[in-house]
């Protein structure tokens, strides 16, 4: 702690937290740092903060926002409890009250109101790294990385190499730049982030995205292999980085390496983090997306879909993430559970038409057609794939996810068009994939079948 007044402590960048307990403030700041760095033990540290001072509104709010970030509707009751405790807690500063309001908006599904809270915080405190990371994550899953970049552009002048956490700020900046197509600046910021702080998995991640978009697969393998030793304390994000490693191996036709990496890192129930949360949304996305791609290039993935289908079944009514729901459809279809696919789609329709939630339109405009397409593709009904997905494809960004992640749905459409011999659609789609930012998509293994057109 740098300063202490009557009951206000500050973090290393001078942002206040209201509590009378040094232990609560220290544990909160450590939790926030760990969250920013994608490290494990964020929740245990917040619990320690709350044990020391249950009235610490910031710790209560961040605890609730962590639950929101897990994108699991089963956590909603606990989020509501966190909100109640945060409202009853001490929040002497406007910043803290914005965090409590942010949690309130997360609980009610007003995700744009949630973003507004973060904007208000950053207007006042442009070096609030916790807020920058939370905000980027939220906008990422709303698909609006342009808006994410606008704020990192706006706060850039407040950051310099002497600002604590500069490397982590650079990692946020790098990913905004990458997803908005400025690959040169993104790679530079990402590499500098890792150079300054070897733990920067988010910086490593941004560079991995650049290398994939530009077709630099050999460099991608080397880049990630050289850094994976730095991720011992990292949360499930490391599994996503291993997913990226799989993408590079896939493009080099190293299918044994893909399967080996998949089994050891992407979906390995012997990993402690997978045991703790076997159905984490991004882990299931990683798994489904990689198995689909492997099958697409002709690799037998054997039994690997089954464990994910078992995890998805209890969560058909979970509408916390449109991109995840579309992957749920992919998983259930892969194991032939088409009745469950229908049940999932019915629940998605119901949420789309009945819910007062920021994601309701995103389900209708994007996730439902993507899910329908995934199911139709597995049934071999390629005409329906194009019928439902082609008119909706310009909305797919609304599901959230990166260009690299979203690409699987474009692979699905191109595959259907190739199988139907629809030259016009193939050319249109390949052109669009290039416009999205992929260099020469037709040179990639996953679009190989389109080369003959």
Between 369 and 401, name the residue whose CB sits nearer to Fe ion: 401
In this structure, what DSSP letter does residue 16 have? Answer: E
Between 177 and 385, name the residue whose CB sits nearer to Fe ion: 177
User: Is there a contact between 339 and 330 (Cβ–Cβ < 8 Å)?
Assistant: no
| Residue from 223, 429, 395 nearest 326 by CA | 395
The interface region with Fe ion, picked from 44-52, 79-87, 386-394, 398-406 by CB under 5 A, is 398-406
In this structure, what DSSP letter does residue 268 have? Answer: -
In angstroms, give the least distance from the CB of 403 to Fe ion. 9
User: Is there a contact between 190 and 171 (Cβ–Cβ < 8 Å)?
Assistant: yes
User: Is there a contact between 158 and 126 (Cβ–Cβ < 8 Å)?
Assistant: yes
In angstroms, give the least distance from the CB of 404 to Fe ion. 6
Binders of Fe ion: how many residues, by CB under 5 A? 1
Report d(CA 138, CA 111) in Å as an integer: 8
In angstroms, give the least distance from the CB of 196 to Fe ion. 21
In angstroms, give the least distance from the CB of 141 to Fe ion. 13
In angstroms, give the least distance from the CB of 247 to Fe ion. 9
The interface region with Fe ion, picked from 220-228, 254-262, 301-309, 402-410 by CB under 5 A, is 402-410
Between 178 and 340, name the residue whose CB sits nearer to Fe ion: 178
In angstroms, give the least distance from the CB of 348 to Fe ion. 24
User: Is there a contact between 173 and 152 (Cβ–Cβ < 8 Å)?
Assistant: yes
The interface region with Fe ion, picked from 14-22, 118-126, 168-176, 401-409 by CB under 5 A, is 401-409
Between 152 and 402, name the residue whose CB sits nearer to Fe ion: 402
Between 49 and 402, name the residue whose CB sits nearer to Fe ion: 402
In angstroms, give the least distance from the CB of 367 to Fe ion. 19
Report d(CA 304, CA 310) in Å as an integer: 11
CA 284 vs CA 87, 90, 243, 295, 330: distances in Å: 34, 38, 11, 17, 11
Between 236 and 402, name the residue whose CB sits nearer to Fe ion: 402
In angstroms, give the least distance from the CB of 175 to Fe ion. 8
The interface region with Fe ion, picked from 6-14, 108-116, 351-359, 397-405 by CB under 5 A, is 397-405
Site string (355-394) toward Fe ion, x via CB under 5 A: ----------------------------------------
Which residues in 343-374 are b (16+ Cβ under 10 Å) and which e?
Answer: ebbebbeebbeeeebbbbebbbbbbbbbbbbb
CA 42 vs CA 16, 65, 75, 205, 306: distances in Å: 19, 12, 16, 20, 31
Between 180 and 402, name the residue whose CB sits nearer to Fe ion: 402
In angstroms, give the least distance from the CB of 211 to Fe ion. 11
In this structure, what DSSP letter does residue 95 have? Answer: H
The interface region with Fe ion, picked from 5-13, 50-58, 399-407, 445-453 by CB under 5 A, is 399-407
Which residue has the CB atom at the shortest distance from Fe ion? 402
The interface region with Fe ion, picked from 104-112, 152-160, 302-310, 395-403 by CB under 5 A, is 395-403
DSSP assignment of 399-452 equals G---HHHHHHHHHHHHHHHHHTT-HHHHHHHHHHHHHHT-SSGGGSGGGGGGGG
Contact positions vs Fe ion (CB under 5 A): 402
């Amino acid at each position: 702690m740098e300063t202490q007044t009557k009951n206000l402590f500050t973090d290393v960048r001078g942002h206040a937290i209201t509590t009378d307990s040094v232990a609560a403030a220290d544990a909160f700041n450590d939790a926030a740092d760990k969250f920013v760095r994608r490290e494990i033990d964020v929740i245990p540290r917040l619990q320690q903060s709350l044990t020391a001072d249950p009235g610490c509104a910031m710790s209560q709010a961040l605890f609730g926002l962590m639950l929101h970030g897990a994108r699991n509707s089963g956590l909603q009751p606990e989020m509501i409890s966190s909100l109640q405790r945060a409202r009853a807690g001490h929040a002497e500063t406007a910043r803290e009250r914005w965090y409590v309001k942010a949690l309130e908006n997360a609980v009610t599904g007003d995700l744009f109101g949630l973003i507004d809270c973060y904007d208000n915080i950053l207007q006042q405190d442009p070096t609030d790294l916790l807020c920058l990371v939370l905000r980027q994550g939220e906008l990422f899953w709303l698909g609006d990385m342009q808006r994410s970049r606008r704020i990192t552009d706006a706060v850039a002048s407040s950051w310099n190499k002497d600002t604590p956490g500069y490397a982590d700020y650079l990692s946020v900046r790098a990913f905004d730049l990458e997803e908005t197509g400025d690959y040169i600046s993104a790679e530079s910021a990402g590499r500098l982030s890792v150079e300054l702080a070897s733990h920067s998995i988010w910086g490593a991640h941004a560079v991995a995205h650049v290398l994939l978009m530009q077709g630099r697969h050999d460099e991608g393998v080397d880049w990630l292999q050289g850094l994976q030793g730095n991720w011992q304390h990292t949360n499930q994000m490391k599994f996503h980085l291993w997913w990226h490693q799989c993408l590079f191996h896939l493009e080099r036709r190293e299918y044994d390496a893909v399967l080996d990496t998949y089994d050891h890192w992407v979906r390995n129930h012997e990993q402690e983090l997978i045991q703790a949360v076997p159905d984490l949304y991004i882990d299931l996305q990683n798994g489904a997306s990689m198995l689909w791609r492997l099958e697409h290039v002709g690799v037998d993935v054997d039994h690997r879909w089954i464990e994910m289908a078992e995890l998805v079944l209890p969560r058909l009514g979970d509408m916390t993430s449109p991109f995840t729901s579309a992957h749920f459809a992919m998983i259930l279809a892969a194991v032939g559970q088409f009745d469950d696919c229908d049940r999932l789609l019915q629940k998605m329709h119901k949420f789309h038409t009945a819910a007062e939630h920021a994601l309701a339109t995103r389900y209708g405009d994007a996730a439902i057609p993507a899910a329908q397409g995934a199911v139709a593709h597995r049934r071999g009904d390629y005409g329906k794939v194009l019928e439902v997905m082609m008119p909706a494809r310009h909305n797919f960004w609304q599901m959230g996810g990166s260009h690299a992640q979203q690409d699987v749905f474009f692979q699905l459409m191109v595959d259907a068009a190739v199988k139907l011999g629809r030259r016009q659609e193939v050319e249109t789609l390949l052109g669009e994939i290039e416009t999205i930012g992929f260099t020469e998509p037709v040179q990639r293994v996953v679009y190989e079948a389109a080369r003959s057109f």
